[in-house]
């Protein structure tokens, strides 16, 4: 058990940031010092009082945010510059300027740091009154919150007037409600609940935090993880460990589902403490180890790492791993030697635990005394001090050295407000043992009764009868024979009374059980209704998202079809222009060149026409496309030349990157064959095949039954534009191009088609063979 790691714990550094950020933000547009030296250089050049105020505020803030607690000269310097800034208010003639208000805020903080709380409060009262007269509710609320932070700092978090705290936080909440600033309202209410918890008003703190759960859930789950974490700590102090684990696990889930997981180590440490109180050392050690690893990654303060390691060591000792724990402590001290006295005390405390478990009493005592020495060198929080003194007292009591244990227990006294219920229980038990050994029966019985009451509140049952028998036995030993005889005579009456009381207790227990079941059923129904509302909302959002996505898909398909349609129209326009130009040409060679260009454009136009006419906008059926291209080419040549086409096409769909090169290759090959291959052939035949060779390998083959290539043409180094064009198109496919001349001309193009799509209605491998 250690001081609870709290996401809203007040430390001097955080308070300085809260109250000094205003000074950083108010640097004017003309003065931008990068550091303190720059500000000193700029002072002589500051022409206006407003510019000087900015620089004085900057210098005061820089000294105030330094190590003022150990160097009083820094605090004196902060006072000097901040007073100069405030004194310039009249000459600057801007009483309500942000520079003046910033200077006053920083000056109030300096008075709090100097221990002059009265003057600090007076300055804040002046600021709050000024903001109220101006109607600036936001600045007024922030001034209230800054004042609370400095009050907590001045009192070091202890002996704080809860009335002052409530006045400030209630003002903040009232103003945030008027401003409809829900996030600021939740922050203030969360911090107020924490202060109520620290001040002993745990029922009030629980009611406030429970109310914040609903408010946060309605406001984008703002600070929901922090609220669950605070409830987990509260439940641990109340002895309701299972509920505490539930809240802590919910907090961990919320933090890990967000973008900022910085504070998850606090939740890991809290889970380690909860499982420790439930006497489940394996789970406790696991969570402590996660906490340590996370804090090492974040480079947290050294003491928190050492302290959490000490908590893990306790659990390892329970698991019989004391020697392994010693190795871990030595390794930690070697990697990161302790620098402060409290860190050295935490290390000594861990070693003391280990050597006590190993029954090496002298070594353990030496480390316990070393722990006490270091902890007394530097102020430590109340619970850490409580645990250290309890460790020393328990060590001596276990060795029957009651007189040596007594001073440590009595140093704690009865003022132990901020510890868990188990700590108070253990303290009363140790005081019972010490007073019993010191022959002080009255106080021993009082401590034992307190121990019994606390144990019952933790366990909810168990030990009541045994405790009564122990107290009765202790009292019987101190009573004379006359009292014992009197008790014997009244035994029958006592038994009857016990029976009546037992029946009454059973009746009360039954009523309480029924009430508990009713409450649980109501809570369960409420949770189900809340879950149903959330599910309905999520269902509506998903439905709306699906409809939006479907509309986007429809629009995309329409746009793609429109693009293909317009591309096809543009191709037809180009063909029309080429046809018009043909009518003005005088030479047959130019006319043929333009006709060939028209054929190539038509080959590409057919592809886009098929794309916008089909449901599949990214690929077309090659069988239908080749048939249409062949029909077009056959019709484009003189009617007197009849060429028979034999098409052997395996059904397949290809995308544009394959369709265009294949279409252009077919156009060139068929056009050349019709023009040159069948001049002296009575039965011209042109074969076209497209088939899969193996796996993803495909081959396009065009063959005629003409006389073959002229002897002047070298396929390896062609001079024909058509052959060069086909070779280039084959390279675009990353394919292999070959042309042979044996019983006609045959062109082969092999290429890889990574993803083959067989059109619906066809079986893979079933070719379409047609003769046209």
Q: For residue 131, give both structure tokens.
A: 């903001």
CATH number of the domain residue 740 falls in: 3.30.565.10
Task: Evaluate whether residue 107 is within a structural domain.
Answer: yes
Number of domains present in the structure of the chain = 3
Query: How confident is the model over 2-7, as a mean pLDDT?
Result: 41
Task: Evaluate whether residue 181 is within a structural domain.
Answer: no
Task: Specify the pLDDT at position 461.
Answer: 38
Task: Evaluate whether residue 395 is within a structural domain.
Answer: no
Query: How confident is the model over 228-243, as a mean pLDDT?
Result: 87
Do 195 and 160 form a contact (C-beta atoms < 8 A)? yes
Top pLDDT among 206 and 716 is at 206
Residue-wise pLDDT tens digits, 690-700: 988 887 889 99
Top pLDDT among 457 and 143 is at 143
Task: Evaluate whether residue 50 is within a structural domain.
Answer: yes
Query: How confident is the model over 533-556, as a mean pLDDT?
Result: 84
pLDDT at 517 over 90: yes
Top pLDDT among 279 and 604 is at 279
pLDDT-derived band at 70 (thresholds 50, 70, 90) equals low
Task: Evaluate whether residue 346 is within a structural domain.
Answer: no
Task: Specify the pLDDT at position 153.
Answer: 73
Residue-wise pLDDT tens digits, 345-385: 889 989 988 998 898 989 988 998 888 888 888 666 667 77
486 and 630 housed in the same domain = no
What is the rounded distance in angstroms from the CA atom of residue 597 to the CA atom of residue 590?
11
Task: Evaluate whether residue 319 is within a structural domain.
Answer: no
What is the rounded distance in angstroms from the CA atom of residue 7 to the CA atom of residue 270?
12
What is the rounded distance in angstroms from the CA atom of residue 327 to the CA atom of residue 324?
5
Top pLDDT among 318 and 438 is at 318
Task: Specify the pLDDT at position 7.
Answer: 40
Query: How confident is the model over 157-173, as a mean pLDDT?
Result: 79
pLDDT at 547 over 50: yes
pLDDT at 485 over 70: no
147 and 36 housed in the same domain = yes
pLDDT at 313 over 80: yes
Domain final residue, candidates 136, 157, 178: 157
Task: Evaluate whether residue 43 is within a structural domain.
Answer: yes
Task: Specify the pLDDT at position 762.
Answer: 46
Query: How confident is the model over 128-144, as a mean pLDDT?
Result: 87
pLDDT at 460 over 80: no
Task: Specify the pLDDT at position 520.
Answer: 93
Determine which of 346-360, 419-433, 661-675, 750-764 has the lowest per-residue pLDDT on average: 750-764
Query: How confident is the model over 661-676, as a mean pLDDT?
Result: 84
What is the rounded distance in angstroms from the CA atom of residue 173 to the CA atom of residue 165?
12
Work out the percent of the chain whose per-residue pLDDT is above 70.
78
Task: Evaluate whether residue 197 is within a structural domain.
Answer: no
Query: How confident is the model over 109-126, as a mean pLDDT?
Result: 84
Task: Specify the pLDDT at position 13.
Answer: 40
pLDDT at 468 over 70: no
- Candidates 474, 419, 466, 465; CA nearest to 446 is 474
pLDDT at 15 over 70: no
Top pLDDT among 266 and 10 is at 266
Task: Specify the pLDDT at position 64.
Answer: 76
Show the DSSP H helices in 653-769 as ranges.
Answer: 656-672, 721-732
530 and 629 housed in the same domain = no
DSSP 393-436: HHHHHHTT-HHHHHHHHHHHTT---SS-HHHHHHHHHHHHHHHH
Task: Specify the pLDDT at position 482.
Answer: 61
Query: How confident is the model over 159-175, as a mean pLDDT?
Result: 83
Query: How confident is the model over 203-213, as a mean pLDDT?
Result: 87
- Candidates 86, 169, 75; CA nearest to 123 is 86
pLDDT at 664 over 80: yes
Q: CA of 643: how far to CAs of 165, 229, 612, 639, 726, in Å?
A: 102, 87, 31, 10, 22
pLDDT-derived band at 260 (thresholds 50, 70, 90) equals confident
pLDDT at 3 over 50: no
657 and 526 housed in the same domain = no
Work out the percent of the chain whose per-residue pLDDT is above 90.
12
626 and 533 housed in the same domain = no
Task: Specify the pLDDT at position 502.
Answer: 86
Task: Specify the pLDDT at position 38.
Answer: 80
Task: Name, of 76-80, 563-567, 732-736, 763-767, the range with top average pLDDT.
Answer: 732-736
612 burial (CB, 10 Å; 0-12 / 13-18 / 19+) is middle
Residue-wise pLDDT tens digits, 620-633: 888 888 888 888 77
Query: How confident is the model over 82-110, as a mean pLDDT?
Result: 74
pLDDT at 154 over 80: no
634 and 503 housed in the same domain = no
Residue-wise pLDDT tens digits, 598-655: 777 776 777 767 666 666 667 888 888 888 888 877 777 765 567 888 888 888 888 8
Task: Specify the pLDDT at position 424.
Answer: 79
Do 424 and 418 form a contact (C-beta atoms < 8 A)? no
pLDDT-derived band at 23 (thresholds 50, 70, 90) equals very low
pLDDT at 287 over 90: yes
650 and 514 housed in the same domain = no
pLDDT at 291 over 60: yes
Task: Name, of 66-80, 518-532, 621-635, the range with top average pLDDT.
Answer: 518-532
Query: How confident is the model over 166-192, as a mean pLDDT?
Result: 87
Residue-wise pLDDT tens digits, 699-733: 999 988 888 777 767 666 666 777 888 888 888 88
527 and 651 housed in the same domain = no
Task: Specify the pLDDT at position 89.
Answer: 66
639 and 730 housed in the same domain = yes
pLDDT at 30 over 80: no
Domain final residue, candidates 497, 514, 537: 537
Domain that holds residue 520: 464-537
523 and 660 housed in the same domain = no
Show the DSSP H helices in 687-766 as ranges.
Answer: 721-732
List for the chain the helix, strand, coil content (%; round to 5): 70, 5, 25
pLDDT-derived band at 420 (thresholds 50, 70, 90) equals low
633 and 493 housed in the same domain = no
- Kindly report the average pLDDT of the chain as a whole number: 79
624 and 532 housed in the same domain = no
Domain final residue, candidates 111, 137, 157: 157
- Candidates 307, 318, 269; CA nearest to 384 is 307
pLDDT-derived band at 523 (thresholds 50, 70, 90) equals very high
Do 59 and 96 form a contact (C-beta atoms < 8 A)? no
Enumerate residues 6+ apart whose C-beta is below 8 A from 669. 702, 726, 747
Enumerate residues 6+ apart whose C-beta is below 8 A from 184. 141, 172, 176
């Amino acid at each position: 058990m250690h001081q609870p790691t709290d996401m809203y714990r007040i430390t001097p550094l955080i308070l300085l940031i809260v109250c000094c950020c205003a000074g950083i933000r108010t640097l004017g547009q003309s003065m931008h010092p990068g550091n303190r030296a720059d500000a000193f250089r700029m002072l002589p050049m500051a022409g206006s009082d407003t510019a000087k105020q900015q620089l004085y505020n900057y210098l005061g803030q820089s000294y105030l945010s330094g190590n003022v607690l150990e160097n009083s000269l820094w605090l004196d310097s902060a006072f000097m510059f901040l007073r100069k800034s405030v004194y310039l208010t009249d000459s600057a003639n801007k009483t309500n300027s942000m520079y003046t208000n910033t200077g006053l805020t920083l000056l109030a903080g300096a008075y709090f740091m100097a221990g002059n709380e009265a003057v600090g409060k007076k300055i804040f009262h002046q600021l709050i009154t000024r903001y109220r007269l101006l109607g600036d509710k936001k600045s007024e609320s922030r001034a209230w919150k800054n004042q609370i932070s400095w009050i907590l700092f001045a009192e070091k978090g202890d002996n704080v007037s809860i009335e002052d705290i409530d006045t400030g936080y209630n003002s903040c909440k009232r103003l945030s409600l008027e401003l409809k600033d829900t996030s600021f309202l939740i922050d203030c209410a969360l911090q107020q609940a924490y202060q109520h918890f620290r001040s002993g008003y745990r029922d009030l703190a629980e009611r406030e935090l429970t109310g914040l759960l609903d408010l946060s859930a309605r406001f984008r789950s703002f600070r929901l993880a922090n609220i669950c974490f605070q409830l987990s700590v509260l439940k641990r102090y109340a002895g309701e460990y299972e509920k505490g684990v539930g809240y802590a696990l919910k907090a961990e889930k919320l933090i890990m589902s967000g973008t900022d997981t910085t504070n998850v180590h606090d939740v890991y440490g809290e889970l380690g403490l909860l499982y420790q109180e439930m006497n489940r050392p394996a789970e406790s050690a696991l969570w402590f180890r996660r906490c340590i690893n996370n804090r090492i990654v974040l480079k947290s303060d050294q003491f928190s790492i050492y302290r959490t390691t000490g908590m893990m060591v306790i659990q390892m000792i329970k698991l019989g791993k004391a020697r392994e724990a010693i190795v871990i402590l030595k390794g930690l001290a070697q990697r990161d030697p302790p620098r402060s006295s409290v860190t050295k005390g935490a290390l000594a405390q861990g070693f003391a635990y280990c050597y006590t478990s190993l029954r090496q009493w002298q070594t353990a005592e030496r480390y316990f005394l070393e722990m006490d020495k270091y902890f007394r060198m530097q102020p430590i929080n109340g619970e850490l001090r409580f645990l250290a003194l309890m460790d020393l007292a328990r060590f001596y009591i276990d060795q029957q050295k009651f007189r040596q244990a007594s001073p440590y227990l009595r140093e704690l006294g009865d003022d132990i407000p901020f510890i868990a219920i188990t700590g108070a229980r253990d303290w009363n038990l140790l005081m019972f043992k010490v007073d019993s050994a010191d022959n002080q029966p009255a106080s021993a019985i009082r401590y034992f009764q307190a121990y019994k009451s606390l144990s019952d509140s933790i366990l909810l049952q168990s030990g009541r009868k045994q405790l009564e028998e122990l107290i009765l036995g202790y009292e019987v030993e101190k009573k004379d024979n006359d009292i014992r005889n009197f008790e014997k005579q009244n035994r029958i009456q006592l038994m009857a009374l016990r029976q009546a009381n037992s029946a009454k207790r059973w009746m009360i227990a039954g009523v309480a059980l029924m009430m508990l079941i009713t409450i649980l059923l109501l809570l369960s129904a409420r949770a189900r209704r809340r879950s149903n509302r959330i599910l309905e909302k999520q269902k509506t959002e998903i439905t709306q998202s699906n409809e939006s996505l479907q509309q986007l898909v429809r629009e995309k398909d329409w746009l793609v079809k429109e693009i293909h349609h317009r591309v096809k129209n543009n191709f037809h326009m180009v063909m029309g222009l080429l046809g018009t130009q043909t009518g003005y040409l005088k030479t047959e060679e130019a006319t043929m060149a333009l006709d060939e260009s028209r054929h190539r454009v038509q080959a590409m136009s057919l592809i886009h026409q098929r794309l916008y006419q089909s449901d599949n906008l990214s690929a077309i059926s090659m069988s239908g496309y080749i048939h249409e291209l062949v029909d077009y080419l056959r019709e484009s040549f003189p009617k007197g030349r009849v060429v028979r086409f034999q098409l052997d096409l395996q059904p397949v769909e290809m995308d544009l990157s394959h369709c265009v090169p294949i279409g252009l290759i077919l156009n060139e090959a068929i056009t050349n064959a019709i023009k040159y291959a069948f001049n002296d052939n009575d039965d011209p035949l042109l074969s076209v095949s497209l088939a899969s060779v193996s796996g993803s390998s495909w081959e396009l083959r065009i063959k005629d039954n003409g006389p073959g290539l002229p002897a002047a043409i070298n396929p390896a180094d062609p001079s024909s534009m058509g052959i060069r064009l086909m070779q280039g198109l084959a390279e675009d496919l990353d394919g292999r191009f070959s042309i042979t001349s044996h019983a006609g001309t045959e062109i082969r193009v092999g290429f890889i088609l990574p993803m083959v799509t067989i059109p619906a209605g066809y079986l893979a491998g079933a070719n379409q063979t047609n003769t046209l």
